[in-house]
Amino acid sequence: MYRIGIDVGGTFTDFALVNETGAQVAFHKVPSTPHDPSEAIGHGITGLLDMHRIAASEVAHIGHGTTVATNLVIERKGAATGLITTHGFRDVLEIGRQVRPHLYDYGVGKPPALVPRRHRIEVRERIDAHGKVRVPLDEDAVRAAAQQFRDAGIEAVTICFLHSYRNPAHERRARDIVREVLPDAYLSLSSDVLPEFREFERLSTTVLNATIGPKMARYLQRFVERIAALGIQDEPFTIHSNGGLMSIDTVRRYPVRTCLSGPAAGVVGAAAVGRAIGFPNLVTFDVGGTSTDVSLVYRGEPLFTSNRHVAGYPVRTPMVDIHVIGAGGGSVAWLDDAGSLKVGPHSAGAVPGPVAYARGGTEPTITDAEVALQRLNPVSLLNGRMRVDCEAARGVMMDKVGGPLGLTLEEAAEGILRIANANMSRAIRSVSTERGYALSEFALYAYGGAGPLHALDVAHECGIPVVIVPQEPGTMCARGILLSDVSFDFVRSQIAIVDPDNWRGIVESIGVLERQASDWFNREGVGAERRALYRVLDARYTGQNFEVQVPMETVFAEDFETFAERFEAVHLREYGYNVPGRAIEVINCRLKAVGQVAKAPLARLPAGDVNADAARTGSRSVYHGSAHGWIDTPVFDRTRLGSGAVIAGPAVLEEMSSTTVMGPAYRLTVDDFGNLIIRIS
């Protein structure tokens, strides 16, 4: 039986296929179809199965990562949404934290509220911070609000009351009333989506969930129907932002949890590979067609966060801590009003794409610069399936960049790449050195279609000593999906000073979460032997505004002293100091429920010829920067390299999904699992 991982990106949709013994691994890539991402999925699966003569009935598992939710937020194309909230709190969504997006640039504004003020309706009710009802719910006001939404053509309704994380009774009753009036509306309750304190972040996350819910549900329906039409019987899974898989029904309820769907899979896959090959500390470096995603894997595990923004909107759900910048192969090079060269963040995307793709693109991109310098194949990509127009790329480079700035072709193209590399290096430092991690202790794990093109220059600039390039790096996120487990995160706010008396309440809260996890396991059909629970307490010193996350194997009465010791250690690592004698306050109790999925082992390569001559396909002139200029460079078919192969630079290694460019000063070896290991002197 076979397993398929799918990653839907902004430019390409990637596929990884493996049989359950790990003996056969295959990769595939097709252009994305932004108007309906499921269309590219259908075409890609059909092509993948046909190429390898596999029947649809032999596919036992499909996992997929999607950018649909993220794109709906970025492009603000979500459903018309209404909000019912506690009297006096309708403007929380716009007031927020009263923090400007950029401290010194008054031209940078906050994104518009996702719910217009006329569709934010207050009703009288009040539950206090202890969960006691102070003012009963005005049911007539809720019914009137629902009728107003019906008349306005509202598709989705958010219900968010003050302190509902303590007592959800009013939200649930309001839901029942709205459902009577709007039976087909998508309903999103804050006590269900995010039962935490901090009303602004809870409201923002719940509104986002409602806004993207209807269109995400329609996309999922088309996706499921296409999979079924191919003859694949098992219902597919979707990866969510914490790197785990969710069933389709769960995604319909919590689409906001898929905002970093595909990128999270890549980090999970990188961590699994890193552990297997002896590199537990990694900087993951995923450069695609639209963006660059960087993250940290420390001691074999990805780092997580529960507080980040998506397109300027706070989203407070557990997710892999990924920093995203607008720098990818399709990022457009342009001149600002002062005549300075800029790269990104806007992208040519899949349509029309870079000029070199000959699909109607008119703006110079990073990909056009790579083609013009012949770092990328100037004739075709994707193993010959995509024609490349090198002359068009060079023409637009001179027309839009070189000519206006008085630069040669080489200077213009290299300038674009150096600016892109500087932006990528800055993103890496923001997740590492700025948080107290020494990059000299990490390896750069480069993937995505464009990651290996930039990896060596970026590693050199950041002081990272090793670059690792996995097999078919352009499909790493799809491969990572096949290394993910089914999981879901539960949270319960428990604001209490940590002392022996309050610790009992914290133990009880974890017990409540464990019972919720047990119910979820049962609904998902996860057997007892495949269940695992991971507990975390959000805690801080009294007087602080923000928490650190303290992992705990167990939370029992006898774990009181262990928690205090672990909090001190985590706080010291995060902030560089501790405050002896200061009281510690727990804010949230978190539980991650994991249903372990059978995974194929990582496939080893057979031993090959260490001089790699058999894999050489020819040579071409490649520009290796102003220090070296144009050099006649050997070109290798990476798929023909065996374990133990050694290549000295300069060299270009081509494969279906990506290209690795290595300058004259570098040397690589191929490890037992087919990874390229390049050490930076």
Give 675's pLDDT tier (boundaries 50, 70, 90): very high
pLDDT in tens, 340-349: 999 888 888 7
Which residue in the block uniquely carries the two structure tokens 């929380």? Answer: 92
Beta bridge partners of 551: 536
Task: Report, as an integer, the average pLDDT of 139-163.
Answer: 96
pLDDT band at 636 (very low <50, low <70, confident <90, very high): very high
Between helix 37-51 and helix 199-229 the angle, nearest 10°, is 40
d(CA 163, CA 190): 10
What percent of the chain clears pLDDT 90, i.e. is strictly above it? 59
**All residues at 6 or more sequence positions from 528 whose CB lies less than 8 Å from its CB, including other chains:** none
- Statement: residue 608 has pLDDT above 70: no
Q: Taking the alpha carbons of 595, 600, 601, 602 in that order, is the dihedral positive or negative?
A: negative
Binned at pLDDT 50, 70 and 90, residue 494 comes out as confident
pLDDT bucket at 25, cuts 50 / 70 / 90: confident
Residue 422 burial by CB count (10 A; 0-12/13-18/19+): exposed, middle or buried?
middle
User: How far apart are alpha carbons 297 and 269 in whole angstroms?
Assistant: 11
Region of 629 (left: φ > 0; alpha: ψ -120 to 50; beta: rest) is left
What's the pLDDT band for 167 if we cut at 50, 70, 90? very high
Write the DSSP assignment of 404-451 as a string of letters.
HHT--HHHHHHHHHHHHHHHHHHHHHHHTGGGT--GGG-EEEEESSSH
- SS3 for 55? coil
Q: Which CATH class is domain 2-72+236-258?
A: alpha beta
Write down the pLDDT at residue 176: 97
If one compares 347 and 377, the residue with the highest pLDDT of the two is: 377
* Mode of pairing for the β-strands spanning 126-127 and 237-239: unpaired
Pick the closest to residue 460 from 428, 490, 437 (CA basis). Answer: 428
Could you tell me the two tokens for 428?
Answer: 């890496």
Q: Are β-strands 548-552 and 531-541 bridged in parallel, bridged antiparallel, or unpaired? A: antiparallel
Element (H, E) at 307: none
What local confidence, expressed as pLDDT, does residue 650 receive? 95
Q: What is the pLDDT at residue 223?
A: 92
Is pLDDT above 70 for 596? yes
Spatial distance between the Cα atoms of 354 and 22, rounded to a whole number of angstroms: 36
pLDDT per residue as tens digits for the range 439-462: 999 999 999 889 999 999 999 999
Residue 541 confidence (pLDDT): 96
Q: What is the CATH number of domain 486-595?
A: 3.30.1490
Mean pLDDT value across residues 56-78 = 85
pLDDT of 421 reads 94
State how far the Cα of 519 lies from the Cα of 516, in Å rounded to an integer. 5
Tell me: the pLDDT tens digits for 457-478? 999 999 999 999 998 898 888 8
Angle in degrees, 0-180, between the axes of helices 409-431 and 390-397, rounded to the nearest 10: 90
DSSP, res 633: E
Cα–Cα–Cα angle for 25, 634, 636, nearest 5°?
10
**Contact indicator for 465, 253 with CB cutoff of 8 Å:** no
**What backbone phi and psi angles, to 5 degrees, belong to 611?**
-90, -5
The Cβ of residue 645 has, within 10 Å, a number of other Cβ atoms equal to 25
d(CA 83, CA 205): 13
The domain spans of the chain are 2-72+236-258, 76-217, 486-595, 613-679
What are the Cα distances from residue 85, in Å, to 79, 342, 486? Answer: 19, 43, 33
For 168-227, write each residue's pLDDT tens digit: 999 999 999 999 999 999 999 999 999 988 899 999 999 999 999 999 999 999 999 999
Mean pLDDT of 378-389: 82
Return the sign of the alpha-carbon dihedral for residues 160, 165, 169, 172: positive
Distance from C-alpha of 271 to C-alpha of 277, rounded to nearest angstrom: 10
Asked if pLDDT for residue 24 goes beyond 70, the answer is: no
Beta bridge partners of 314: 309
Between 624 and 347, whose confidence is greater?
624
| DSSP H or E stretch at residue 142 | helix 139-152
Question: Is the pLDDT reported for residue 373 higher than 90?
Answer: yes
Q: Quote the CA–CA distance of 461 and 458 in Å, as a whole number.
A: 5
pLDDT range class, residue 609, cuts 50, 70, 90: low
User: Which residue in 68, 485, 59, 482 sits closest to 245, CA to CA?
Assistant: 485
Kindly report, residue by residue over 274-289, the tens digit of the pLDDT: 999 999 999 999 998 8
The fraction of the chain above a pLDDT of 70, given in percent, is 98
Average pLDDT, the chain: 90
| Average pLDDT of span 247-265 | 89
pLDDT value, residue 610: 61
CA distances from 15 to 8, 55, 291, 310 (A): 9, 16, 19, 26
pLDDT surpassing 70 at residue 23: no
Assess contact for 432 and 355: CB atoms under 8 A. no
Q: How confident is the model at residue 427 (pLDDT cuts 50, 70, 90)?
A: very high
For the stretch 390-401, pLDDT in tens is 999 999 999 999
Q: What is the mean pLDDT of the segment spanning 580-599?
A: 91
Q: Which of 316-325, 552-561, 668-677 has the lowest mean pLDDT?
A: 316-325
